[in-house]
Amino acid sequence: MLTQIINGRILTPQGWLKDGSVLICDGKILEVTNSDLAVIGATVIDARGMTIVPGFVSMHAHGGGGHDYTEATEEAFRTATNAHLKHGATGIFPTLSSTSFERIYQAVDVCEHLMKEKDSPILGLHIEGPYLNPKMAGTQYDGFLKTPDENEYIPLLERTSCIRRWDISPELPGAHDFAKYTRSKGIMTAVTHTEAEYDEIKAAFAVGFSHAAHFYNAMPGFHKRREYKYEGTVESVYLTDGMTVEVIADGIHLPATILKLVYKLKGVENTCLVTDALAYAAYEGNEPIDPRYIIEDGVCKMADHSALAGSLATMDVLVRTMVKKANIPLEDAVRMASETPARLIGVSDRKGALAKGKDADIVILDKELNVRCVWSMGKIVPGTDNLLHK
């Protein structure tokens, strides 16, 4: 089926096209052009007054629609993925929280199965933990935290290629050997839930830790011990050239001023927007049944108010927050939600940009930056055909 989206402002790798068109067929982009002339035989979608951007790449989301990926069932994977897909995440890396290796193997089996489906938006698996510093991991992972064990992770990674990212605390014994091994496998390896300072971050970067998960969250900044002052993980990551970052840009986990600072110091090419969403993102059901959590102030918190537990955001929320609260140009906000994560996690050959030959993953935003229509691999995502009925 030949489809042409016309009359919209289009974000291309070269910049904006005004009132151009995107021609798609068989799940691929055939052409992006500044012409708004309708092609004979194509189904024409008029995006007059709207903005056409690449589909977002979500590389850190624990769940959505009432399900958590750590449930490790097809129902959970499909429900959570579809919930985020409706908000523009046309490529997603389901994230597992710290859990047992038995559960990780179950999730791997589900992920591998779903990735084989034609036009699947699931691009690989992301694991956070269980190799986390217990001082920085909170109470939600009690019973699962441990130090890296090559007798666990090597057999797993020799069995599957679906794991594309793994986050751990770099200061743990065995963490450097872990990073060397994951780097040899082409797996994005990130520091997370850490209290590492400059020398530790430098050493971690040298062995393969290339990224900082939910930057600023679950890591210290500048601090004192007795009468002396020390740089924290935050300053250490800033000072490590080449280390990339991600931010939970929901406007709650980080204030707009910090989002501006990350953008200014790390830049578009080194910064990704992530949701870190829990099961209650894009969820229309009842309040959480898990007594550990409460929903308050638009975010999920630990019930004792000791910490934020995760976000309720979707990818479109992140883009709106960066533009409307942090005053970041729309093109840069979109790139941090699409182009940059696609490149960093290794899918930029087909995702993350509107260009000839790429997958036809397309999001149309209205003037308020709300999602009006989503195409995943050239097919309209059910429930996002608002543009067709405007």
How many structural domains are present in the chain? 2
Q: 69 and 14, same structural domain?
A: no
Q: 164 and 34, same structural domain?
A: no
Q: 365 and 304, same structural domain?
A: no
**Positive or negative torsion for Cα 149, 158, 103, 139:** positive
Q: 29 and 98, same structural domain?
A: no
Check the annotation: does 217 bind a ligand. Answer: yes
Q: Is residue 385 part of a domain?
A: no
Check the annotation: does 218 bind a ligand. Answer: yes
Name the amino acid, one letter, at 328: I
Q: What is the pLDDT of residue 296?
A: 86
CA distance 361 to 309: 30
**Between these two residues, 32 and 296, which has the higher pLDDT value?**
32
Check the annotation: does 225 bind a ligand. Answer: yes
Check the annotation: does 253 bind a ligand. Answer: yes
Q: Is residue 390 part of a domain?
A: no
pLDDT over 70, % of the chain: 97
Residue 292 has pLDDT above 90, yes or no: no
59-84 pLDDT per residue, tens: 999 999 999 999 999 999 999 999 99
Q: 322 and 259, same structural domain?
A: yes
Tell if the pTM clears 0.85, that is, is over it: yes
CA distance 89 to 67: 16
Place of tokens 């289009």: 10
Residue 259 has pLDDT above 90, yes or no: yes
Q: Is residue 389 part of a domain?
A: no
**Between these two residues, 292 and 389, which has the higher pLDDT value?**
292
Place of tokens 């102030």: 297
Q: 127 and 205, same structural domain?
A: yes
Average pLDDT over residues 156-172: 98
Q: Is residue 383 part of a domain?
A: no
Closest Cα to residue 253, out of 182, 311, 328, 211? 311
User: Residue 349 has which token pair?
Assistant: 């050959």
Q: What is the pLDDT of residue 141?
A: 80
Q: Is residue 211 part of a domain?
A: yes
Average pLDDT over residues 199-228: 95
Average pLDDT over residues 151-167: 98
Helix pair 315-324, 256-266: axis angle to 10 deg: 90
Q: Which residues contact 74 (CB under 8 A, 6 or more apart)?
A: 110, 113, 114
Q: 16 and 156, same structural domain?
A: no
Residue 289 has pLDDT above 80, yes or no: no
H/E stretch holding 219? none
Q: What is the pLDDT of residue 140?
A: 66
Catalytic residue selected from 36, 276, 316, 332: 276
Q: Is residue 59 part of a domain?
A: yes
Average pLDDT over residues 270-299: 86
Q: Which residue range is the domain that position 269 belongs to?
A: 55-343
Residue 288 has pLDDT above 70, yes or no: no
Burial class (CB in 10 A: 0-12, 13-18, 19+), 157: middle
Q: What is the pLDDT of residue 36?
A: 86
Residue 290 has pLDDT above 90, yes or no: no
Q: Is 276 a known active-site residue?
A: yes
Q: Is residue 348 part of a domain?
A: no
Residue 91 has pLDDT above 90, yes or no: yes
Q: Which residues contact 305 (CB under 8 A, 6 or more apart)?
A: none
Check the annotation: does 128 bind a ligand. Answer: yes
Average pLDDT over residues 133-137: 94
Q: 198 and 252, same structural domain?
A: yes
Q: 113 and 254, same structural domain?
A: yes
Q: What is the pLDDT of residue 371?
A: 97
* pLDDT band with cut points at 50, 70 and 90 for residue 181: very high
41 contacts 25 by C-beta, under 8 angstroms: no
Contacts 24+ apart (CB under 8 A), 100-109: 100/130, 100/144, 101/152, 101/156, 103/70, 103/72, 104/72, 104/156, 105/156, 106/72, 107/69, 107/70, 107/72, 108/156, 108/159, 108/160, 108/162, 108/163
Residue 143 has pLDDT above 70, yes or no: yes
Residue 159 has pLDDT above 60, yes or no: yes
Average pLDDT over residues 111-126: 98
CA distance 272 to 65: 23
Check the annotation: does 206 bind a ligand. Answer: no
* pLDDT band with cut points at 50, 70 and 90 for residue 139: low
Q: 46 and 95, same structural domain?
A: no
Closest Cα to residue 188, out of 56, 349, 59, 54? 59
How do 56-61 and 89-96 pair as beta strands? parallel
Q: Is residue 387 part of a domain?
A: no
What does the mean pLDDT of the chain come to?
95
Residue 199 has pLDDT above 70, yes or no: yes
Check the annotation: does 200 bind a ligand. Answer: no
Q: 241 and 189, same structural domain?
A: yes
Q: What is the pLDDT of residue 298?
A: 82
H/E stretch holding 354? none
Residue 19 has pLDDT above 60, yes or no: yes
User: Residue 73 has which token pair?
Assistant: 């069932």
CATH code (residue 164): 3.20.20.140
Check the annotation: does 369 bind a ligand. Answer: no
Q: 151 and 11, same structural domain?
A: no
Average pLDDT over residues 178-204: 98
